[in-house]
Amino acid sequence: MPGTWLTGERPGARTHADDTAPRQWRAILLALTDRDGSDPPGGGSLDELERLAATDGIGVADRMVQVRGRPDPATYLGSGKVRELAELVGSRHADVVIADGELTPAQVRGLEDGTGVRVVDRTGLILDIFAEHARSFEGKAQVELAQLAYELPRLRGHGREMSRIGGGRMAGGAGTGVRGRGEMRLEIQRRHLRRRMRTLREQVRRTARRREVTRRRRTRDRVPSVAITGYTNAGKSALLNRLAGADAEVADVLFATLDPLVRQVRTPDGLTYTLTDTVGFVRRLPHQLVDAFRSTLEEVTRADLALHVVDASSPQATEHIATVRGVLGDIGAQDVPELLVLNKADLAAPEQMDTLRRIHPAAVPVSARTGEGLDDLRDALRDRLAALFPPDRARTATPADTEGSP
Ligand SMILES: Nc1nc2c(ncn2[C@@H]2O[C@H](COP(=O)(O)OP(=O)(O)OP(=O)(O)O)[C@@H](O)[C@H]2O)c(=O)[nH]1
Ligand SMILES: [Mg+2]
C-alpha cells in the first residue's frame, strides 16, 4: 500500500552519526502568520501541531514562524527564511520539517531542496496518524483511500506547473514522440492509483451498506440512537465506557478511535437506546479524510441525538465547539439535535467552566474520569430521548407511518 510520507521509515528507524542507538525523530514546526500574529496560526495551532507530531512519535526540536501574508509559490517561505530554516535544521539536528499549512507539491520540493530534510504538511501528518491507528478492514480501506487521494496530485510531473518544471527534466529527450517516457510512466502510476481507489470505494460502500441495514432495523424497532461526537481527545470513548460499561480504547493521543463502536444502553426507566462512539474531529480536518470517512462520519447524521463532548479544560474549548459544529454542517448533520457535554470538569479551571456554562446554559458538566455529573447527564439524556420518542408514539408508530406527515 502506498503510504504517506513516513512509510517504510518509521521514527526510531534512524540512527545518528554520533550515537548508534535509534532515536526519536525531531521536527521543526513551521508556520506562516498574518502581521497581527493572530490567525493563521496562533500559538494554539502550533501547540496542536506539536500534539499531532507527538501522537505520530515525533519530538519537536524547535518552531519557526514567518510573518507573511501569502506563501511563496515555490518555497512557501521567503528565500532568506528558507536559509534560516536550513540553519535551524542543522543546529537542532532535525530530521523533518512539519508545516502547519497545506503545501503544494512544488513547495514541498522547494523546501526539501533548501533544507536537505524531509518536509511534510499537516494533512500528511494527520494521514500518517490515521494509518497507524486504523484497525478494522473498513478503517484501513478508508485511510488508504484518503492517502491515495492525497498522493494522486503529488505524483511527480503532474499538472501544468509540473510539465514546465519537472516535465522537461523527466521527459526531456528520454522518450519518443510527444510524450516522454517519464510522462508515460506517470500516467500508468496514476491509472493504477485510480483503479485502486475505485476498489477501495466499493469496499467502503459495502461495509456502509451493511451498517445501514442494521441501522434500518433499529429504526424500524424504534430504538433511539445517540451518537457521541466531538473534537479529538475530548473524552468521547471514556464517556462511552462510563455510560455503557464498554471497554473502548481510551488514550491520550489524537485520533485513538477511528471505527464506530455501538453499545446498547438502558435508561433507569427502561428506555433502550444505542450509543455510538466514533472518529473525532480536528480543526481543518483534511478533506481527503472527510471524503474517505464520510460513511463513518455520517453515523452522526443518522442519529436521533448528537452527544457533543467538549474538553472543557482546553483553552481552545470554544473553537473546538465551533469546529465540530462546522464539520457536522459539512456532512449534513446540522439538524440533528445536540446535547452538549462539558467533559474533564475535574481538570477545567472553575472560571473557564463558569464561562462555558454561561455561554451554553443547557450543557451538562461531567468528568468521565471521576464520574462527577454522570447522573445529571443520564437524566438529561433520558429527558431528551423521552421528548424525541414519546412513550405512546414509540410503541405504535413506525417510521413509515410518520413519513411525509407534517
Ligand atoms: N482529567 C480527565 N481526563 C479525561 C476525562 N475524560 C477523558 N480523559 C482523558 O483524555 C484522554 C482522551 O480520552 P478519550 O476517551 O480517548 O478521548 P476521545 O475523544 O475518544 O479521543 P479520540 O478517539 O482520540 O478522538 C485520555 O487520556 C483520557 O484518560 C476527564 O473527565 N478528566
Ligand atoms: Mg476515542
Domains of the chain from N-terminus onward: 25-131 (3.40.50.11060), 223-394 (3.40.50.300)
Other CB atoms within 10 A of residue 242 CB: 18
Question: Does 251 contact ligand 1 (Cβ within 6 A)?
Answer: yes
Cell numbers for 54: 507527538
Question: Does 280 contact ligand 1 (Cβ within 6 A)?
Answer: yes
CA of 261 to the centre of ligand 2 (A): 10
pLDDT one-digit tens code per residue, 77-119: 998 999 999 999 999 999 999 999 889 989 999 999 999 999 9
Question: Does 362 contact ligand 1 (Cβ within 6 A)?
Answer: no
pLDDT in tens, the chain (406 residues): 334 454 444 443 344 444 555 678 999 999 998 765 555 444 568 899 999 999 999 999 999 999 887 899 999 999 899 999 999 999 999 999 999 988 998 999 999 999 999 999 999 999 999 999 998 888 999 999 999 999 888 886 544 333 322 333 333 333 445 556 677 888 999 999 999 999 999 999 998 888 888 878 877 778 899 999 999 999 999 999 999 988 888 988 898 888 888 999 988 788 899 999 989 999 888 888 888 888 888 889 989 999 999 999 999 999 999 999 999 998 899 999 999 999 999 999 999 999 999 999 999 999 999 999 999 999 999 999 999 887 665 444 444 433 333 3
pLDDT one-digit tens code per residue, 247-258: 888 988 898 888
CA diameter of the chain: 79
pTM of the model: 0.82
Q: In what order do the strands lie in the sheet with 272-277?
A: 261-266, 272-277, 225-230, 305-311, 338-343, 364-365
Three-class DSSP labels, 148-170: HHHHHHHCCCCHHHHHHHHHHHH
Whole-number Å distance between alpha carbons of 145 and 291: 9
pLDDT one-digit tens code per residue, 331-354: 899 999 999 999 999 999 999 999
CA of 367 to the centre of ligand 1 (A): 10
Give which of 321, 342, 338, 324 is closest to 388, Cα–Cα. 338
CA of 216 to the centre of ligand 2 (A): 25
Question: Does 234 contact ligand 1 (Cβ within 6 A)?
Answer: yes
CA of 248 to the centre of ligand 1 (A): 11
Environment class of 173 (CB within 10 Å of its CB; exposed 0-12, middle 13-18, buried 19+): exposed
